[in-house]
A and B are shown apart, each in its own frame.
Chain A
Amino acid sequence: MPKDHGIGASQKRREDLRFLTGRGRYTDDINLPGQLYAAFVRSTVAHGRINAVDTATAAAMPGVVRVFTAADFAAVGGLPCGWQVTDRHGKPMLEPKHPVLAEGKVRHVGDPIALVVAETAEQARDAAEAVILDIAELPPVLDMKAAVAGGPLVHDELGSNLCYDWGFVEENREAVDAAIRSAHHVTTLELVNNRLVPNAMEPRCAVGDYNPATDETTLYTTSQNPHVIRLLMGAFVLGVPEHKLRVVAPDVGGGFGSKIYHYAEEAAVTFAARALRRPVKWTASRSESFITDAQGRDHVTKIELALDREGHFLAVRTETYANMGAYLSTFAPCIPTWLHGTLMAGNYRTPLIYVNVKAVFTNTVPVDAYRGAGRPEATFQLERVIDKAARELGMDPIELRRRNFITEFPYQTPVALVYDTGNYHATMDRLAEIADLAGFEKRRQESAAKGLLRGLGVNCYIEACGIAPSNLVGQLGARAGLYESATVRVNATGGVVVMTGSHSHGQGHETTFAQVIAEMIGIPESQVEIVHGDTANTPMGMGTYGSRSIAVGGSAMVRAASKIIAKAKKIAAHLLEASDSDIELKDGKFTVAGTDKSVDWGSVCLAAYVPHNYPLADLEPGLEETAFYDPANFTFPSGAYACEVEVDPETGKVTVARFAAADDFGNVINPMIVDGQVHGGIAQGIGQALLETCAYDENGQLVTGSYMDYAMPRADDVPFYAVDHSCATPCTHNPLGVKGCGEAGAIGSPPAVVNAVIDALQRAGHTHVTHIDMPLSPARVWAAMQH
């Protein structure tokens, strides 16, 4: 029987009522009295020297209150980068200044140059068009290899476009080279992991507000981590102390990574609100989102896999160029390094691994984490090269994977991680069932009868989530801790409010977190409220990304609730005249073990706040506890995915006919929500594999700058998915045994789709086609078949 409440129940989401009736409160829904509107003047060229910015005409236009340029921000700091990578020679990465408004040069199309503030949004936009820019266009640098081979400099003062040249594990380099030289077989694959635009459906928005009477500043913003924004903007950019700065991220319409970072627009509207002493609002148009939201992926990689005669993996060597774009976004440097290089063992016993990553500045929009963040890039190259190796060796690709699976845990990889749990054979077995792999041949014949080429792609993935132990990431260059926090406040009549540092922007925390607390105490979920998204009423927390909310935020909440329960037992012991070690809590009732003496939850809560009969000498009144949880290790969700495609040999069009995902997420709080997370990730992965790419022309103009050009997956581009997470090996080092599920679908699905297309073409006799770069558009697939 499935559970109907608490942990493990597919509870319907309480969030849905407001979203389904138009009563959500997103940032753009907020309008403050006296509010002004901001519009940015942005660079229309990829690279240029700013000779002059003439704001006189604009400033005189109707409704215009003020036009800000870089000169107004002279006393303000630049946007900080939150991670410093050290290169393979021990030198820190090159780190350019990232001004709020462009100073001296513009470095990508969309780089903000001026900020117009007016009484209405239309007046601000009209005046922004009247700002006259004198920009001497410079040749842009777009290709990464050209950028490091002496191309034009994005940042003149750095003297190079190479941000860092990272080697991992550097001490393994020669041993890896030797293993590859002497191996029985080496499979080599060169590939591109295509640049993507995250495209949360809610465009970014920011409303700055300042109260001169109290000297309090408030920013409402579309953020996944309001506390991080408060710290970065307050301490590094505007110099506003945290106790005078409040950041609110209300309902947020999706993030997928793109709303982690501190953006120039947030600082600019807050600065303007303080200067003008009126609220200032900016809402991105979608066209603006395309040229300002941090983009994802964009790796150019060569991977080599060395195998012995029996197909055992001996060594992996990779060389990757990773695009940083024009500036370092908040966490950009760690994505192609610590979130990518450490994943190159995958699910396999590969004794020797060396990963080289060259991070490169180009005249493009900054690149940072997008759903999966480094882990999809690692998984894609590894799972593609394994498929290619299987073909070269004449082995079944599933059998080759099984032959190399890690089977004993904990497992120390040669790339620093220690996997605590997993069962890769069982996950693959489960995949075979839910994907009906045995029925593939029959379905292939049915496709063939229709004149279509059917292919099957299977792959595994591992990810490192629950980011992350603070002392470890500090050694790796993080300029932040990565704990999470929660305050559990019990009211006098027994209702519970949890204030979490995690942030929900689609994940359903208000429902799932309440399920956990209700289960721990034994009260109905309706007695538990989850509060998030406002620095004024939540403890300092690091927010939501990297599939960390339940693993890290949930653990903090469990820890705080455990303190509550321990204290409540002492109160109950006093009321029952027993020892607190004899008190048991079950179904909302405290009982003296082995007796029928009991007191209910509500009475204990009331005693805590009306402490007439209470051990005041030993125990403070009240029932409120805060906990910070710093994880001991990452969590390691894993899975096996299968995709079946049909390729039209006449047009090259690929249709995803079936998709199955068997995941190991450890324990699951709400299976319905977990399924939904996987569905969404799979669609994004299919989008990357078949449809989406962020394309710049030779001048650095974004060609795919709207939904007319950037091909988002639509309802008729995808099938129903078969998803399953019954193969669960709980995490051993967090209290809920959870691993996280947010990114899995986007990590595991691109190689499955590409493997399936290659399989279809190979079966049709196109044996020369061993790889096609994403997205596998009809034109690319058709062209591959013509040789």
Chain B
Amino acid sequence: MTQVSMTVNGRAVSGEVEGRTLLVQFLREGLGLTGTHVGCDTSQCGACVVHVDGKAVKACAVFALDLQGAEVRTIEGMANADGSLSVIQQAFQDHHGLQCGFCTPGMVMSAAALLAENPKPSEAEVRKYLEGNLCRCTGYHNIVKAVLAASGQDVAAIAAE
């Protein structure tokens, strides 16, 4: 076991991990941050997406020990300071972009990363970017709408085309 220290959602944290401990295990089991989910074992589903140093990362594909000193942000750190939903989270609720909620944390984290890179994506760009996030409930319709809405675009007009 080795000591690892990083910043998670603005808070300095540390813990003992094995060399094989994945970031997602450290978050879920070490820190009790169970909002980040594990939906597969091949880094395909995206339920575990978090931000590491501002970039979207699949937390099942990186070892905790490789993140000494890193800045990590998870779904638990996405709401506004007063606890209200952020623009992206609110758009997911407003447009019914989630059903069972299991893929949702990863979707929100990916969407946030997309909008940070590309503040006004086209529908096709949203769909392409979210290729690494599987959802079995929504058929993606309302997720894509939610991301477009969060970017400030007129969703009704785009979806009606």
Interface residues of A, CB < 8 Å — how many?
Answer: 58
**A253 CB–B CB distance under 8 Å:** yes
Nearest Cβ on chain A to B107's Cβ, whole angstroms: 10
Report A685-718 CB contacts with B as 1/0, cut-off 8 Å: 0000000000000000000001110001111101
Partner of B141, one of A26, A254, A707, A721: A721
Could you say which residues of chain A place their CB within 8 Å of the CB of B104? 19-20
Q: State in angstroms the CA–CA spacing of A75 and B14 once bound together.
A: 47
Partner of A707, one of B42, B135, B145, B159: B42
A22-B75 contact given A122-B18, A714-B131, A716-B128, CB 8 Å threshold: yes
Partner of A201, one of B136, B139, B141: B136
Residue of B nearest to A12 (CB): B93
Q: State in angstroms the CA–CA spacing of A203 and B85 once bound together.
A: 27
Q: Are A200 and B41 neighbours in the complex by a CB distance under 8 Å?
A: no
Nearest Cβ on chain A to B34's Cβ, whole angstroms: 4
Q: Are B76 and A21 neighbours in the complex by a CB distance under 8 Å?
A: yes
**A28 CB–B CB distance under 8 Å:** yes
Which residues of chain B in 7-36 are interfacial with respect to chain A, using CB atoms and an 8 Å cutoff?
A: 18, 20, 28-29, 33-36
**B102 CB–A CB distance under 8 Å:** yes
Q: Are A21 and B143 neighbours in the complex by a CB distance under 8 Å?
A: no
Q: Are A287 and B41 neighbours in the complex by a CB distance under 8 Å?
A: yes
Q: Are B130 and A715 neighbours in the complex by a CB distance under 8 Å?
A: yes
Q: Are A256 and B136 neighbours in the complex by a CB distance under 8 Å?
A: yes
Could you say which residues of chain B place their CB within 8 Å of the CB of A506? 99-101, 137
Most buried by A among B39, B98, B100, B134: B100
Q: Are A201 and B44 neighbours in the complex by a CB distance under 8 Å?
A: no
Q: State in angstroms the CA–CA spacing of A675 and B40 once bound together.
A: 28
Q: State in angstroms the CA–CA spacing of A200 and B35 once bound together.
A: 17
Could you say which residues of chain A place their CB within 8 Å of the CB of B108? 20
Most buried by B among A21, A24, A199: A21
Q: Are A676 and B96 neighbours in the complex by a CB distance under 8 Å?
A: yes
Q: Are B44 and A23 neighbours in the complex by a CB distance under 8 Å?
A: no
A22-B35 contact given A676-B96, A676-B142, A714-B131, CB 8 Å threshold: yes
**B74 CB–A CB distance under 8 Å:** yes
Could you say which residues of chain A place their CB within 8 Å of the CB of B93? 12-13, 16-17, 20
Which residues of chain B in 100-119 are interfacial with respect to chain A, using CB atoms and an 8 Å cutoff?
A: 100-105, 108
A201-B41 contact given A22-B33, A506-B100, CB 8 Å threshold: no
Q: Are B100 and A718 neighbours in the complex by a CB distance under 8 Å?
A: no
A15-B139 contact given A707-B44, A716-B127, CB 8 Å threshold: no
**B49 CB–A CB distance under 8 Å:** no
Could you say which residues of chain A place their CB within 8 Å of the CB of B36? 22
Q: Are A715 and B136 neighbours in the complex by a CB distance under 8 Å?
A: no
**B89 CB–A CB distance under 8 Å:** yes
Which residues of chain B in 114-153 are interfacial with respect to chain A, using CB atoms and an 8 Å cutoff?
A: 123-124, 126-128, 130-131, 133-145
Could you say which residues of chain A place their CB within 8 Å of the CB of B72? none
Residue of A nearest to B134 (CB): A712
Partner of A254, one of B38, B41, B76, B102: B102
Could you say which residues of chain B place their CB within 8 Å of the CB of A676? 96, 99, 137-138, 141-142
Q: State in angstroms the CA–CA spacing of A388 and B144 once bound together.
A: 36
Q: Are A679 and B141 neighbours in the complex by a CB distance under 8 Å?
A: yes
**B79 CB–A CB distance under 8 Å:** yes
**A411 CB–B CB distance under 8 Å:** no
Residue of A nearest to B142 (CB): A676
Could you say which residues of chain B place their CB within 8 Å of the CB of A21? 35, 75-76, 78-79, 85, 89
Q: Are B139 and A745 neighbours in the complex by a CB distance under 8 Å?
A: yes
Could you say which residues of chain A place their CB within 8 Å of the CB of B47? 201
**A682 CB–B CB distance under 8 Å:** yes
Nearest Cβ on chain A to B112's Cβ, whole angstroms: 12
A508-B76 contact given A202-B39, A253-B37, CB 8 Å threshold: no
Nearest Cβ on chain B to A131's Cβ, whole angstroms: 20
A20-B98 contact given A201-B47, A676-B142, A720-B144, CB 8 Å threshold: yes
Q: Are A286 and B34 neighbours in the complex by a CB distance under 8 Å?
A: no
Report B60-86 CB contacts with A as 1/0, cut-off 8 Å: 000000000000001110110000010
**B53 CB–A CB distance under 8 Å:** no
Q: Are B136 and A712 neighbours in the complex by a CB distance under 8 Å?
A: yes
Q: Are B139 and A708 neighbours in the complex by a CB distance under 8 Å?
A: no
Q: Are A684 and B41 neighbours in the complex by a CB distance under 8 Å?
A: no
Q: State in angstroms the CA–CA spacing of A151 and B48 once bound together.
A: 44
Q: Are A720 and B159 neighbours in the complex by a CB distance under 8 Å?
A: yes
Could you say which residues of chain A place their CB within 8 Å of the CB of B56? none
Partner of A718, one of B79, B140, B158: B140
**B57 CB–A CB distance under 8 Å:** no
Could you say which residues of chain B place their CB within 8 Å of the CB of A28? 34, 38
Residue of B nearest to A505 (CB): B100
Nearest Cβ on chain B to A12's Cβ, whole angstroms: 5
**A680 CB–B CB distance under 8 Å:** yes
Q: State in angstroms the CA–CA spacing of A506 and B42 once bound together.
A: 24
**B59 CB–A CB distance under 8 Å:** no
Give me the interface of A with B, judged by CB distance under 8 Å: 12-13, 15-26, 28-29, 31, 122, 199-203, 251-254, 256, 283, 285-287, 505-508, 672-673, 675-676, 679-684, 706-708, 712-716, 718, 720-721, 745
Q: Which 8 A-B pairs have the closest CB atoms?
A: A22-B35, A19-B101, A253-B102, A683-B139, A506-B100, A707-B44, A506-B99, A679-B139
Given contacts A22-B75, A26-B37, 7 further A-B contacts (CB under 8 A): A20-B89, A22-B36, A23-B35, A200-B136, A676-B142, A712-B136, A721-B141
Q: List 30 A-B contacts (CB under 8 A).
A: A16-B93, A19-B101, A20-B75, A20-B101, A21-B78, A21-B85, A22-B76, A28-B38, A200-B136, A203-B38, A253-B102, A253-B103, A254-B102, A283-B38, A286-B40, A286-B42, A505-B100, A672-B96, A673-B96, A676-B96, A676-B138, A676-B141, A679-B141, A684-B136, A706-B44, A707-B44, A714-B130, A715-B133, A715-B143, A718-B139
